[in-house]
Structure formats: structure tokens, C-alpha cells
């Protein structure tokens, strides 16, 4: 096809077919008059805008077949069906040809008996099916259009705090009803002329045109306060719902991706500051994000170059002092500054897909070690992140490795935090069933820290519980923790589950736990983590001996801090 930009100007101007030339990222470099009419923009306004945002659904690379999308006309006079062809042009550019096929589409729908449903089909493309609000593609298109028009405004990103607790405790139908209530409330409070939509599961967003920062903050606070005032009397366990908000102001000098990224960084700051607050994006948020990106780069390099090592923390039988296994803890030792603890690099990894690789690396390394040291008394527990529960192939990966290595599955256990399990109950149940059926041990970690702890026990095929350290910390002070731990032990015993207590830092805690029937524990008083290589360098029998007791940690709680960060 001849490049329309080189065709005679009168031919390009006269054709009813819309053409655009973009760079390889879809940023417009040239448009013909038919395209400007379609977009409702001038040629100057169109340049440097994202065509794939303005024509949501358009392909971002050449394809063998054309794509048909629905497109709402800028003047609000209904929708059009557009057929879009994307082909490669010179200098890494893309040529888009857009044809109005509304009449052909109408005949096609009529032939299929769907003509009466055309309006509904068109709405489904741009509307969230649950709330009826504009969806992500509609919001993106509106934001990019405002930027193309040179408007000054603000983009609000609203994320409901702990909304998953409602779904997990009361079921998705209840969550859906609450979500619809919130959507209706926000729609009523957003103000005329502004566009509110639903980005994803528990995220709303709003494009506020002709709005300065002060007005945007006032609007966000109005929405936040309205949500917090909704009575949740019909939802047991939830006194109220709160929302965190991130705001990014914009003008014509940026693109929609940058605005959305800035709002997301501001939202992250609201969450980190305690939730239920409004934060406006500022340069410091970018620096915080840049630091997280640097951390992700270090994690990626550690996976590739061997910067990760494993430390082993003994799990001790309180009656005899005998070590019955070790929990493997991941450490980043890449020789770079600043040194990063697990709480820092794992948080960054969980916000990316690198956490999937990390969990596979840890499990694989544990299995390799068990092969190299076949002594039956050597048993490991490894942690599984909440994100890895989304990895449907993780269970197969583990079992294939165990089978190929000839390792008895009972030598390997997996710990899933209660919060992660409850958040993704179906996935946690599926993985636990698969691994337990093959003989692996499954422990519910940090038990008692989340909602509905006992309710979910009967739904998860686990073999043991690890009592959350917050209940152990004051167990020797005669506090309410004693009653709670006793209840956990009794229930676990009735269900045939093993129990491990963590954060054991004093001899008096050992005595209190023993009186309550806890038989296994771990903590700095019983043995601190040490590099796995150092542990394995000792004779086999030493692995099973009681570690040298550390001095009591009273008076220097900082020594216990690494244990709490045990991921």
C-alpha cells in the first residue's frame, strides 16, 4: 500500500477513509482530515497522542487480520463500528487505516438476529458490567482526549481498603452488592461533567477536567468521607469501608500512561501512610518508586547471578530440645549497598512477577539440597508467597522436581500465611490439596493474624499451624494471649494438626508454651538462623542437636527484629 503521507494532498483530504501514521509505540506522527474528524481533534492536537488510547481496542502492532471495534463519537451522537488495519511502514513506523463499517455491521447483526441488541453490545464494550460505570478503556480514552484538547485537570485513583475481606468472609455476591452501592454513591457525588469509572476489581478512577489541585483534593475528600459514612450494619465484621486516593494533576504536556503512573504512585503513598487518606503526586513519590525499581533490578540480577542465599532456622521440640526441621529463609547477599532485608526486596518482588521465580528458586534449591544430603532427619519448610498461589503450575513444578530427584515428599513442607490463604482461598485450597496428596507437609503460617481464622481451618487441607508471633510475645506475662494460644492448641489437637510457635525469645516463654501443650517452637532463644551452607558443613548428627541457647532478648528487642521479617 502506498504511504498516504506521500500521496497527493487533495487525494488524502478527499478520501472518507481515516489514516494515521504512528511511531512503533503508537504515538501519532501524522493524520489525514478524515482521522481528525473521527477523533474530534485537530491535526495539531492529534500529534504525539496515543492512537491506541484514543481508538481503544486498536492493535498495537501489525496483524494479519483487521480488527473491528466500537467507537463513541466525540459529540455524543452514538457509536460507530470501525474496521482497523495496522501495517508496518518505514522507519519503524505503523500505518493505520480506519474504515467506518457501521452499515455492514448492522446487516451482520440483523442476519444473526441480534439487531435489537446492538445498543447493549455497544455499551458492553465501554461499560463495567457490574456497576454500569465506564470501564478502563473508556477512562483511558477520555483521559487521553482531555490531554489532546490541552485541558488542565486531575486524575483520581481510588482504591478501597481491605475490600477483599468482605468477599472472603461473606462471599462475592455480598461484595458485588456493596460495590454497586459504592458506585452509585460515587456517581452521585462526583459532580456534573466529570467522568467516573471502574478500573478493576476494587479500584475506581475519575477524570476531572478543568480542575486544579485544590479542587481535586476537595473532590477526593468529599468522595472519601462519603464512603466512610456508609453504614455497614448488614455486613458482619465490617464497621465501615474506607478508601485511599491518589491524585495526579495533568496538562497537555504529558501522556495518559504518565498520568496514571503518577496517580498510582500517589495512591501507593496513601496506602503506605496508613490508608483512608488523599495524597497528591509529587516528585518524592517518583524517587520512592525509582528506589523500588532499583530493588527489582537487584532481585532480577540476584536470580541470574547467584546473589540469593538461604539461611536455616531450627524448629525445636521443646520437651527434648531436639531439632525436627528447619525453616529456610531467603537473604539477598549481592554485595551492594544499601543492604536489603527480606521485607524490602520481597515487597518489591511481589509487586512484580519476579516473586514467581523467587519461590521456584527457593523450592528448587531446597530439593537440590535434600538430594545432596539424603539424611532423613534433614527436613525443610519453605515459604510460599501469596502471589505464587496464582501460579497454577507451581504445584506441578514442585512435584516434578521431587519425583525426578527421588526425594521423599515428607522431607519438604510449605508454609502459606493465613492472610494469603484467606485472600485467595480457592487457589490456596487447590495447591494444599495437590501437595498434601503427594505427601508434603502444609502449614498455615501466622495463624490468628487474619479474619475468620477458625472458619477457614475446615476448608484448607493443611497438616499444621504456626501460631502468629504476636500471641507468643507476651505469653509469659499472664496476658489474654494465654487463653488464645490454649484455644488454638486445643482446636489443632482436635483436628489432628501439628502446632509450632514462633518468636520465642525467652526461657519463660518456653515454659509457658510447654504448659499450654505446644510441643514445637522456633525463635532466637532456641536457635538463630544461620547460612544453610554452614549448617550442612557439620556432621549429620549435629543437625538434630539442640542449638546453643542465646541469651534472653529482654532489653534489646532489636535483636528479635530479623525474626519477625522471616519471609
Q: Which pLDDT band, with edges at 50, 70 and 90, does 162 fall under?
A: confident
Give the mean model confidence (pLDDT) for residues 171-178: 80
- Asked whether 120 and 184 are in contact (CB, 8 A), the reply is no
Q: Are 294 and 300 in contact (CB under 8 A)?
A: no
Residue 555 has a CB neighbour count (10 Å cut-off) of 7
* pLDDT at site 350: 79
Q: Which residue has the higher pLDDT, 126 or 54?
A: 54
Alpha-carbon 156 to chain mean position: 20
Domain boundaries, the chain: 12-123, 128-286, 289-550
**Would you say 425 and 459 are in contact if contact means Cβ atoms under 8 Å apart?**
yes
- With cell 508496518, the residue in question is 88
For the domain 289-550, what is the CATH code?
3.20.20.450
User: What is the mean predicted confidence (pLDDT) over 135-141?
Assistant: 90
The DSSP code for 252 is T
Q: Which helix (H) or strand (E) holds 82?
A: strand 79-88
| CA-closest candidate to residue 51, choices 72, 80, 31 | 31
> Cell numbers of 265, please?
504512585
The phi, psi pair for 218, rounded to 5°, reads -65, -40
pLDDT digits (tens, 9 = 90+) for 486-543: 988 998 898 899 999 999 999 999 999 999 999 999 999 999 999 999 999 887 666 6
Q: What span, in angstroms and rounded, lies between the C-alpha atoms of 270 and 248? A: 13
Beta strands (DSSP E) in 288-425 are 308-317, 322-332, 380-384, 412-417
Asked if the domains 128-286 and 289-550 are classified in one and the same CATH topology, the answer is no
Record the pTM.
Answer: 0.54
Q: Which of 339, 356, 324, 383 is CA-nearest to residue 544?
A: 324
Superfamily in which the 12-123 domain is placed by CATH? PAS domain (3.30.450.20)
Q: What is the mean pLDDT of the chain?
A: 83
128-286, superfamily in CATH? Reverse transcriptase/Diguanylate cyclase domain (3.30.70.270)
Cell numbers placing 522: 522456633
**Percent above pLDDT 90 for the chain:** 45
Residue 95, pLDDT above cutoff 90: yes
Amino acid at each position: 500500500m502506498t504511504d498516504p503521507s506521500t500521496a497527493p494532498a487533495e487525494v488524502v483530504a478527499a478520501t472518507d477513509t481515516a489514516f494515521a501514521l504512528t511511531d512503533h509505540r503508537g504515538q501519532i506522527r501524522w493524520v489525514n482530515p478524515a482521522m481528525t474528524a473521527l477523533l474530534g481533534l485537530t491535526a495539531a492536537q492529534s500529534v504525539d497522542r496515543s492512537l491506541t488510547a484514543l481508538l481503544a481496542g486498536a492493535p498495537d502492532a501489525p496483524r494479519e487480520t483487521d480488527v473491528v471495534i466500537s467507537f463513541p463519537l466525540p459529540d455524543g451522537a452514538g457509536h460507530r463500528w470501525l474496521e482497523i488495519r495496522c501495517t508496518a511502514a518505514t522507519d519503524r513506523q505503523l500505518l493505520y487505516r480506519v474504515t467506518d463499517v457501521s452499515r455492514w455491521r448492522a446487516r451482520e447483526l440483523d442476519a444473526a438476529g441480534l439487531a435489537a441488541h446492538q445498543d447493549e453490545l455497544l455499551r458492553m464494550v465501554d461499560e463495567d458490567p457490574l456497576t454500569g460505570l465506564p470501564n478502563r478503556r473508556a477512562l483511558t480514552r477520555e483521559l487521553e482526549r482531555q490531554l489532546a484538547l490541552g485541558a488542565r485537570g486531575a486524575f483520581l485513583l481510588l482504591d478501597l481498603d481491605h475490600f477483599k475481606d468482605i468477599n472472603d468472609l461473606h462471599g462475592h455476591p455480598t461484595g458485588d452488592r456493596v460495590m454497586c452501592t459504592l458506585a452509585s454513591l460515587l456517581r452521585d457525588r462526583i459532580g456534573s461533567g466529570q467522568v467516573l469509572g471502574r478500573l478493576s476489581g476494587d479500584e475506581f478512577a475519575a477524570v476531572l477536567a478543568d480542575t486544579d489541585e485544590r479542587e481535586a483534593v476537595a473532590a477526593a475528600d468529599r468522595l472519601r468521607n462519603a464512603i466512610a459514612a456508609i453504614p455497614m450494619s448488614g455486613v458482619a465484621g465490617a464497621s465501615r469501608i474506607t478508601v485511599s486516593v491518589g491524585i495526579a494533576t495533568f496538562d497537555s504536556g504529558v501522556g495518559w500512561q504518565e498520568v496514571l503512573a503518577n496517580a498510582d504512585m500517589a495512591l501507593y503513598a496513601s496506602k503506605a501512610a496508613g490508608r483512608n487518606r488523599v495524597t497528591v503526586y509529587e516528585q518524592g513519590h517518583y524517587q520512592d518508586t525509582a528506589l523500588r525499581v532499583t530493588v527489582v533490578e537487584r532481585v532480577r540480577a540476584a536470580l541470574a547471578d547467584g546473589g540469593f542465599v538461604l539461611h536455616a532456622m531450627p524448629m525445636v521440640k521443646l520437651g527434648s530440645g531436639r531439632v525436627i526441621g528447619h525453616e529456610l529463609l531467603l537473604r539477598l547477599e549481592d554485595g551492594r549497598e544499601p543492604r536489603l532485608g527480606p521485607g524490602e526486596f520481597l515487597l518489591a518482588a511481589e509487586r512484580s512477577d519476579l516473586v514467581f521465580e523467587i519461590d521456584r528458586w527457593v523450592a528448587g534449591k531446597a530439593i537440590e539440597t535434600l538430594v545432596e544430603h539424603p539424611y532423613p532427619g534433614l527436613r525443610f519448610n519453605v515459604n510460599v508467597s501469596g502471589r505464587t498461589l496464582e501460579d497454577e503450575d507451581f504445584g506441578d513444578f514442585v512435584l516434578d522436581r521431587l519425583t525426578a530427584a527421588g526425594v521423599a515428599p515428607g522431607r519438604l513442607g510449605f508454609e502459606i500465611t493465613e492472610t494469603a490463604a484467606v485472600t485467595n482461598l480457592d487457589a490456596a485450597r487447590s495447591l494444599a490439596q495437590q501437595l498434601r496428596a503427594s505427601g508434603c507437609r502444609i502449614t498455615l503460617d501466622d495463624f490468628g493474624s487474619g479474619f475468620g481464622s477458625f472458619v477457614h481451618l475446615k476448608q484448607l487441607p493443611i497438616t499444621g499451624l504456626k501460631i502468629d508471633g504476636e500471641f507468643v510475645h507476651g505469653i509469659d506475662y499472664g496476658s489474654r494471649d494465654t487463653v488464645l494460644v490454649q484455644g488454638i492448641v486445643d482446636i489443632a489437637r482436635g483436628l489432628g494438626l501439628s502446632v509450632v510457635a514462633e518468636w520465642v525469645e525467652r526461657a519463660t516463654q518456653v515454659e509457658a508454651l510447654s504448659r499450654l501443650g505446644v510441643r514445637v517452637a522456633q525463635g532466637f532463644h532456641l536457635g538463630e538462623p544461620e547460612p544453610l551452607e554452614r549448617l550442612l558443613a557439620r556432621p549429620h548428627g549435629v543437625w538434630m542437636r539442640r542449638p546453643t541457647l542465646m541469651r534472653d532478648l529482654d532489653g534489646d528487642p532489636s535483636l528479635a527484629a530479623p525474626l519477625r521479617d522471616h519471609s
